[in-house]
């Protein structure tokens, strides 16, 4: 990981925030704060005005705005990656930078917007995919600026403006990016507030967003609580919810490739990705060989006692309830921390270059059941592939998020693909190939799982509208 000059980053964040604070967000309905407002109502009204201007500017204005975002997220990847890393203190700087750079090339734009026409004896019917207007987007702490960047490209491509309620612990980096995106978009299009937010997002500003009649659609990226809250709001919500992606390794797998893929995927941004490998079910006949391959590829093997000690530190239980409580909380002090930091919590020193820790557990272990979001992965020995697939389906909890398999057996691959029923199913590679990084396809950091839209695209943020001309305008 690149070494960061903490003081320099603190200085940059301080300067940018001072600029934000010294140019207070205008709350009047006529002036722009370049997207950053004190009140949610002002942020929504500004987005509505910008939506109307974008509509007047047509597809050409959408293209210009998207082009600005693509260029800026690549140009600012290093600076914004450092600011986000400094603010959230989770994940890895090199991956924060990469996640921003890939937004510039892998997130689709206006070319994804579909249209249809039906011409016949009764005339001509056209189906267009129109914008909603202002979309309310809720973003996670795990990738604040990348998620908002991907949402911005997708939503503007579809003709919308966006108001963000960002995660409070990743709100400053988001405000900085929103402000700079708007300034750059303004100089190209004359539209100043296509992306808006509030300086201090909270549950109250979330409520205000949900209640506003100007917000026509919600897009939520986060864990179970925010998905439940959005679904109760009464508004239509595109929900990119939690995952707990299992990996199955069968006896036909290329074990060296499987080990390298598991390390690459589960250590990416210190396992903050919702698609990241979270537990492995391996057929017993190759379990020892897989663990040997993991060690050979640089992962550090914890023994049973060390795994239990780490589990005791990694999960917290509501007061008065011990292990066995159905809803433990992940210890936020260990979420997204470096692999070398985790063992320190149990008094163990390992090489600082270590990317991933692993250890053998039973199928019902807390590390299997919970979305740990830290670079430790449990390995579970299973008697055969069918039992492994069943266990993987149980560990996935019906989130319909991501499943991964390493196998050369087409029947086994097909069986798991069909039975696990996840939005992403990845074969013989690390998780990020499912989002176009090393695999084919496009990127979004909002993968709509419980609501079924999948990896979100501009089309996700459109309304289908049909226009019918009776008995005329057909050309025959
Ligand atoms: P989080 O659920 O703590 O926060 C996500 C967002 O929801 C934040 O903006 C937060 O302020 C808000 N929020 C949380 N509880 C809320 C409530 N009750 N009412 C209103 N708003 C609320 O999640 P996080 O730790 O920031 O992110 C990690 C989680 O997000 C993991 O579960 C991960 O799997 C999931 N995630 C999913 C995707 C996806 O595409 N499906 C992408 C990234 C992260």
Contact assessment for residue 131 and residue 461, using Cβ atoms and an 8 Å cutoff: yes
Segment 223-277, tens digit of pLDDT: 999 999 999 999 999 999 999 999 999 999 999 999 999 999 999 999 999 999 9
pLDDT for position 28: 38
Q: What is the mean pLDDT of residues 441-464?
A: 98
Contact assessment for residue 160 and residue 132, using Cβ atoms and an 8 Å cutoff: yes
| Position 2 confidence tier, pLDDT thresholds 50, 70, 90 | very low
Q: How far is the CA of 403 from the centre of ligand 1 (A)?
A: 20
Segment 104-157, tens digit of pLDDT: 999 999 999 999 999 999 999 999 999 999 999 999 999 999 999 999 999 999
- For residue 401, which atom of ligand 1 is closest to its CA? 41
pLDDT for position 30: 43
Q: How far is the CA of 221 from the centre of ligand 1 (A)?
A: 6
End-to-end CA distance of the chain: 65
CB distance 447 to ligand 1 below 6 Å:
yes
Rounded to whole angstroms, how far apart are CA atoms 249 and 389? Answer: 9
Say yes or no to pLDDT of 9 above 80.
no
Contact assessment for residue 164 and residue 222, using Cβ atoms and an 8 Å cutoff: no
Residue 117, beta-bridge partner list: 126
Provide, rounded to the nearest whole percent, the portion of the chain with pLDDT above 90.
90
Residue 300, beta-bridge partner list: 357
Segment 49-107, tens digit of pLDDT: 999 999 999 999 999 999 999 999 999 999 999 999 999 999 999 999 999 999 999 99
Q: How far is the CA of 189 from the centre of ligand 1 (A)?
A: 33
pLDDT for position 118: 98
When mean pLDDT is compared across 4-13, 126-135, 297-306, 443-452, the lowest value belongs to 4-13
pLDDT for position 327: 66
Q: Which of 140, 370, 449 gets mutated to test ligand 1 (max ligand atoms within 8 A of its CB)? A: 140
Helix (H, G, I), strand (E, B) or coil at 444: coil
Largest CA distance in the chain: 81
Contact assessment for residue 249 and residue 280, using Cβ atoms and an 8 Å cutoff: yes
Segment 366-415, tens digit of pLDDT: 999 999 999 999 999 999 999 999 999 999 999 999 999 999 999 999 99
CB distance 222 to ligand 1 below 6 Å:
yes
- For residue 244, which atom of ligand 1 is closest to its CA? 34
pLDDT for position 329: 87
Say yes or no to pLDDT of 324 above 60.
no
* Alpha-carbon torsion (58, 63, 68, 74), positive or negative: positive
Say yes or no to pLDDT of 417 above 70.
yes
Say yes or no to pLDDT of 10 above 90.
no
Q: Work out the mean pLDDT of the chain and round it to a whole number.
A: 93
The single residue listed with the structure tokens 């705005």 is 65
Tokens representing residue 441 in the block = 């396809």
| Position 328 confidence tier, pLDDT thresholds 50, 70, 90 | confident
Residue 213: how many CB atoms within 10 A of its CB? 7
Provide, rounded to the nearest whole percent, the portion of the chain with pLDDT above 70.
91
CA-wise closest residue to 306 among 355, 358, 356, 244: 358
Segment 169-224, tens digit of pLDDT: 999 999 999 999 999 999 999 999 999 999 999 999 999 999 999 999 999 999 99
Residue nearest to atom 36 of ligand 1 (CA): 222
CA-wise closest residue to 16 among 114, 83, 81: 83
pTM score, two decimals?
Answer: 0.93
Rounded to whole angstroms, how far apart are CA atoms 347 and 270? Answer: 20
pLDDT for position 25: 43
The single residue listed with the structure tokens 């708007």 is 182
Q: How far is the CA of 286 from the centre of ligand 1 (A)?
A: 36
Q: How far is the CA of 458 from the centre of ligand 1 (A)?
A: 21
Rounded to whole angstroms, how far apart are CA atoms 312 and 331? Answer: 10
CB distance 141 to ligand 1 below 6 Å:
yes
Contact assessment for residue 20 and residue 199, using Cβ atoms and an 8 Å cutoff: yes
CA-wise closest residue to 182 among 33, 80, 53, 291: 33
Q: What is the mean pLDDT of residues 296-322?
A: 89
Q: How far is the CA of 227 from the centre of ligand 1 (A)?
A: 8
pLDDT for position 13: 56
- For residue 169, which atom of ligand 1 is closest to its CA? 11
Alpha-carbon distances, residue 353 vs 18, 297, 300, 340, 349 (angstroms): 36, 12, 11, 7, 12
Residue nearest to atom 9 of ligand 1 (CA): 167
Helix (H, G, I), strand (E, B) or coil at 118: strand
| Position 33 confidence tier, pLDDT thresholds 50, 70, 90 | confident
Tokens representing residue 391 in the block = 């266990």
Rounded to whole angstroms, how far apart are CA atoms 227 and 307? Answer: 31
């Amino acid at each position: 990981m690149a070494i960061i000059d903490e003081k320099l980053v603190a200085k940059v964040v301080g300067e940018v925030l001072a600029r934000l604070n010294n140019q207070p967000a205008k709350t009047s309905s006529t002036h722009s704060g370049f997207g950053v407002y004190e009140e949610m109502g002002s942020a929504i009204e500004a987005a509505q005005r910008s939506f109307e201007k974008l509509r007047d500017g047509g597809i050409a204005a959408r293209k210009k705005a998207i082009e600005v975002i693509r260029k800026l997220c690549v140009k600012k990847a290093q600076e914004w990656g450092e600011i986000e890393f400094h603010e959230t203190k989770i994940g890895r700087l090199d991956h924060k930078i990469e996640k921003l750079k890939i937004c510039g090339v892998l997130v689709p734009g206006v070319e994804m917007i579909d249209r249809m026409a039906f011409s016949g004896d009764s005339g001509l019917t056209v189906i267009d995919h129109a914008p909603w207007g202002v979309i309310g987007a809720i973003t996670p702490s795990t990738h604040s600026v990348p998620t908002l960047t991907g949402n911005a490209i997708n939503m503007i491509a579809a003709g919308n403006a966006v108001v963000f309620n960002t995660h409070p612990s990743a709100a400053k980096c988001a405000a900085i990016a929103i402000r700079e995106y708007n300034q750059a978009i303004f100089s190209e299009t004359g539209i100043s507030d296509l992306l808006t937010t509030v300086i201090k997002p909270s549950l109250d500003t979330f409520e205000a967003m949900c209640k506003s009649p100007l917000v026509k659609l919600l897009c939520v990226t986060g864990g179970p609580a925010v998905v439940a809250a959005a679904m109760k709001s009464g508004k239509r919500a595109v929900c990119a919810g939690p995952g707990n992606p299992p990996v199955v390794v069968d006896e036909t797998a290329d074990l060296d490739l499987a080990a390298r893929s598991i390390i690459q995927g589960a250590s990416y941004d210190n396992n903050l990705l919702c698609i990241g490998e979270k537990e492995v079910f391996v057929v017993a006949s190759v379990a020892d060989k897989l663990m040997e391959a993991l060690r050979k590829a640089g992962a550090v093997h914890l023994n049973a006692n060390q795994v239990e000690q780490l589990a005791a530190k990694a999960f917290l239980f509501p007061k008065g309830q011990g292990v066995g409580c159905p809803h433990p909380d992940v210890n936020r002090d260990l979420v997204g921390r470096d692999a070398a930091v985790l063992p320190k919590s149990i008094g163990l020193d390992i090489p600082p270059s270590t990317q991933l820790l692993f250890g053998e557990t039973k199928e019902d272990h807390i590390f299997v059941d919970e979305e740990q979001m830290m670079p430790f992965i449990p390995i579970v020995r299973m008697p055969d592939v069918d039992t492994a697939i069943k266990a993987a389906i149980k560990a996935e909890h019906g989130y319909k998020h991501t499943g991964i398999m390493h196998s050369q057996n087409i029947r086994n691959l097909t069986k798991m693909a069909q039975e696990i029923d996840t939005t992403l199913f990845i074969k013989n590679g690390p998780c990020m190939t499912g989002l176009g990084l090393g695999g084919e396809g496009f990127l979004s950091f909002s993968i709509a799982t419980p609501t079924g839209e999948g990896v979100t695209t501009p089309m996700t943020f459109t309304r289908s509208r049909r226009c019918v001309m009776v008995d005329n305008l057909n050309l025959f």
